């Protein structure tokens, strides 16, 4: 994010933030004037950087962010600029704005529409969601959005700070492979009940799921390395979670105030910060230990060290409840499904119909052809031996033709050979 210059710092020391309508200072007798909507500062290039939406919670309706203030181009919206502006229902971002701070719209609980000028080079809106950098950064899911389930699209690598904050109607979110970072307050105060996070996510930043009071299930796939400070702070409905065996660090108060009564800490964890597990309350009013909380882990590990320092009962990992077993498969993606289908595509690359995958791919696999070749040759030799034996055998009773064919080529021969072939195809699909 853009840093303030020394010039901007000097301006702040010598003057108050400039109003949007500077002319109101020179027109005292013109009658009532419209109050300014934004305070702002100037960067080194003389561009305006919005610092605060002045009406805040008193404002109701749509906001058109100006492209220019007092002759200065607006190119930046500062961190927390619209924070707690609970009456804002829609926002329009001009083409000049190419950067934003963190948590810009956090607490805009009535916001359901975001629009961006068509010629904006950095920001765009798809299905009502604000993205940046060609879709790599998911900036904002409107808090009043109507969706109940949301899967982050392919190509997104980062969930911005406060992106899903206060989204009360949203119940389930899936972060697929490709997402790498979940920034601070990304889902804070949202109404989600379930989240599934792919192993490509390296880090959950501080307060990323804080105060998600309805969150009951958080599936963390192997690959996640760090859970930041207070990441699941006060997720009171969260009563069970499995930590992946790739996790290396757990931040302070990470699971403070949850419904957890025990936790299995994998041996991969090297650092557990203060009050990460087994506590409730908040630092302002006081933190208290959860009665009978238990920690499971390996002897001489970070888990045992934490348990000893915080006077929490410790047990070996072998004694842990079965529901703490880590998932082994990551979140499925559309790309993975397409790749699986394309293994059985025709010569021009057209994906095979799923109902004919076995038939379409069966005779194109060299291993399968080899097995069928051996099986077919064996069947022919066996048929010849039985035929010779039959011709040389003294005939006591005439044997019906159909019976002779049944004995010569048993019907179970083909079926017996299909079983390993189907298993092989199934293994390839998986």
Domain limits, the chain: 6-27+34-324, 365-429
Distance CA 188, CA 330 (A): 24
> Which is it for strands 294-297 and 137-140: parallel, antiparallel or unpaired?
unpaired
Question: Which residues of the chain carry a pLDDT beneath 70?
Answer: 1-34, 323-430
Q: Please give the Cα distance from 288 to 290 (Å, whole number).
A: 7
Residue owning tokens 């879709």? 135
CATH number of 6-27+34-324: 3.80.10.10
What six digits make up the tokens of 340?
A: 């699986």
Please tell me the predicted confidence (pLDDT) of residue 341.
31
Q: Give the pLDDT confidence score for residue 172 in this predicted structure.
A: 98
The token duo for 66 is 């100006």
> Strands 286-289 and 279-282: what pairing?
antiparallel
Torsion of CA 230, 236, 241, 247, to 10 degrees: 0
Task: Report the side by side order of strands in the sheet with 137-140.
Answer: 123-126, 129-132, 137-140, 158-159, 181-182, 203-204, 226-227, 249-250, 271-272
- Predicted confidence at residue 388, as pLDDT, reads 54
**Concatenated DSSP letters for 208-240?**
TTTT-TT--EEEE-TT--EE-TTTTTT-TT---
- Phi, psi dihedrals of residue 132, rounded to the nearest 5°: -140, 165
User: Cα–Cα–Cα angle for 274, 104, 238, nearest 5°?
Assistant: 40
* pLDDT (0 to 100) of residue 400: 43
Find the Cα–Cα–Cα–Cα dihedral 26, 32, 34, 40, rounded to 10°.
40
Cα separation, 55 vs 39, whole angstroms = 11
| Side-by-side strand order, sheet with 61-64 | 61-64, 88-93, 113-116
What are the residues facing 280 on neighbouring strands?
Answer: 288
Indicate the pTM of the whole model: 0.69
Contact 139, 123 (CB under 8 A): yes
Secondary structure of residue 150 in the 3-state scheme: strand
Q: Look at residue 318 and give its three-state secondary structure.
A: helix
Q: Which residues pair with 74 in a beta bridge?
A: 48
Of 325, 339, 334, 354, whose CA–CA distance to 430 is shortest? 339
Contact 70/99 with Cβ under 8 angstroms?
no
Strands 72-77, 279-282: pairing is unpaired
- DSSP H or E run through 407: helix 401-408
- Residue 368 burial (CB < 10 Å; 0-12/13-18/19+)? middle
Coil vs helix vs strand at 203: strand
């Amino acid at each position: 994010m853009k840093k303030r210059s020394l010039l901007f710092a000097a301006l702040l020391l010598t003057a108050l933030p400039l109003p949007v309508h500077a002319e109101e200072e020179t027109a005292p007798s013109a009658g009532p004037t419209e109050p300014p909507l934004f305070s702002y500062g100037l960067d080194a290039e003389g561009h305006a950087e919005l610092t605060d939406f002045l009406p805040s919670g008193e404002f109701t309706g749509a906001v058109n962010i100006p492209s220019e203030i007092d002759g200065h181009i607006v190119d930046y919206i500062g961190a927390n600029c619209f924070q707690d502006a609970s009456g804002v229902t829609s926002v329009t971002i001009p083409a000049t704005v190419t950067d934003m701070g963190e948590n810009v719209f956090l607490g805009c609980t009535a916001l359901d529409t975001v629009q961006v000028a068509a010629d904006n080079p950095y920001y765009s809106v798809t299905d009502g969601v604000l993205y940046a950098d060609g879709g790599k950064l998911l900036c904002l899911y409107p808090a009043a959005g109507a969706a109940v389930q949301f899967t982050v699209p392919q190509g997104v690598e980062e969930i911005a700070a406060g992106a899903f904050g206060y989204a009360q109607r949203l119940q389930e979110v899936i972060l697929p492979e490709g997402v790498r970072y979940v920034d601070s307050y990304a889902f804070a105060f949202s109404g989600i009940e379930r989240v599934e996070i792919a192993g490509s996510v390296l880090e959950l930043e501080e307060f990323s799921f804080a105060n998600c009071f309805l969150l009951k299930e958080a599936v963390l796939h192997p690959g996640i390395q760090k859970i930041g400070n207070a990441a699941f702070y006060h997720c009171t409905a969260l009563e069970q979670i499995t930590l992946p065996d790739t996790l290396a660090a757990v931040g302070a108060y990470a699971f403070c105030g949850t419904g957890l009564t025990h936790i299995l800490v994998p041996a991969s964890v090297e650092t557990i910060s203060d009050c990460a597990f087994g506590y409730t309350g908040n630092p302002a009013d006081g933190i208290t230990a959860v009665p009978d909380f238990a920690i499971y882990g390996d002897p001489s590990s970070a888990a045992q060290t934490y348990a000893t320092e915080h006077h929490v009962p410790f047990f070996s990992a072998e004694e842990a409840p079965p529901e703490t077993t880590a998932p082994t498969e990551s979140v499925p993606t559309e790309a993975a499904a397409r790749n699986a289908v394309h293994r059985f595509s025709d010569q021009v690359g057209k994906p095979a119909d799923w109902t004919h995958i076995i038939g379409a791919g069966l005779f194109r696999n060299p291993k399968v052809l080899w097995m069928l070749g051996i099986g077919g040759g064996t069947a022919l030799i066996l048929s010849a031996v039985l035929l010779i034996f039959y011709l040389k055998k003294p005939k006591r009773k005439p044997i019906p033709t159909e019976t002779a064919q049944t004995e010569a080529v048993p019907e179970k021969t083909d079926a017996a050979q299909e079983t390993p072939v189907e298993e092989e195809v199934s293994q390839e699909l998986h």
